[in-house]
Amino acid sequence: MSLSKGQTVSLEKRGGGTLTRVRMGLGWDAIKKKGMFGKLKDQSVDLDASALLFDAGGRLVDQVWFQQLRSKDGSVQHTGDNRTGAGDGDDESIVVDLQSVPSSISQIVFVVNSFTGENFSQIENAFCRLVDSTANDTELARYELTGSGTHNSQVMAKVSRAGSGWSMTAIGAIANGRTFQDLMPTVSQHL
C-alpha cells in the first residue's frame, strides 16, 4: 500500500491484529559539485530524521532526533545520525514499537530537515518512507525529496491512536528549518 498526501489508513493487518513496529527511513546521496579542473567532488549533506511524540492536547511530550536517540520510555529509537548520505538504502531510521508507546501519547509525527541548509533541489536521490518493520519492511508511504523544491524540510507523516490500534496519515507538508524545533509551526497545523 502506498499513500498519497492527506490519506489516512488503519495500521491493522489484513489477517487481523495491528502493526506492532513501524520504521521511518530516510535516504539520500551526497551531492557532487565541480571542483578544480572540472572534476566532480562529493559534498556532505546532513539530512536528519526526527520523531515527535504528542499527547491528546497537542503538547510535545518527547522527541527523538540526532541529539536524543531514544524516547524517555524507550519505545522510539533512532539508529544514529548520518552526516553525509554515504551508502545505499536508508541512511537514517527511526523505529517505533507501537505496543510500547505510553497510552499518554496520542500521535507521533515524523519530520525530515536539512541541518546543513541545502534545499531539496540540491540533494541527490533523497527520499523518506514509512515501513511496516514487522513484515519485511513493506512500504506504507514514500516521498521523493530530490528536486521537490527550494524548501529544506518536510513534515512526512504521523501515526495516531485509533481505538485500540493505530492509523497513519501521510502529510507531505513542506517547510523550512534546520531542526525539528524550527518546524513546530508547520507540525502544529497537522495535529
What is the sign of the dihedral through the CA atoms of 15, 19, 20 and 23? Answer: positive
CA–CA gap between residue 23 and residue 173 (Å, rounded): 19
Residues 80, 89: Cα–Cα separation, whole Å: 14
pLDDT surpasses 60 at 1? no
Q: How is residue 177 written as a grid cell?
A: 528549518
- Among 159, 156, 144, smallest CA distance to 183 is for 156
Task: Work out the pLDDT band at 164, boundaries 50, 70, 90.
Answer: confident
pLDDT at res. 15: 57
Looking at residues 178-184, what average pLDDT do you find? 95
Neighbouring residues of 185: CB distance < 8 A, sequence distance ≥ 6: none
Average pLDDT of the residues in 125-129: 83
Whether 137 has a pLDDT exceeding 90, the answer reads no
Average the pLDDT over each of 71-75, 156-160, 168-172 and give the range with the smallest value.
168-172
pTM of the shown model = 0.86
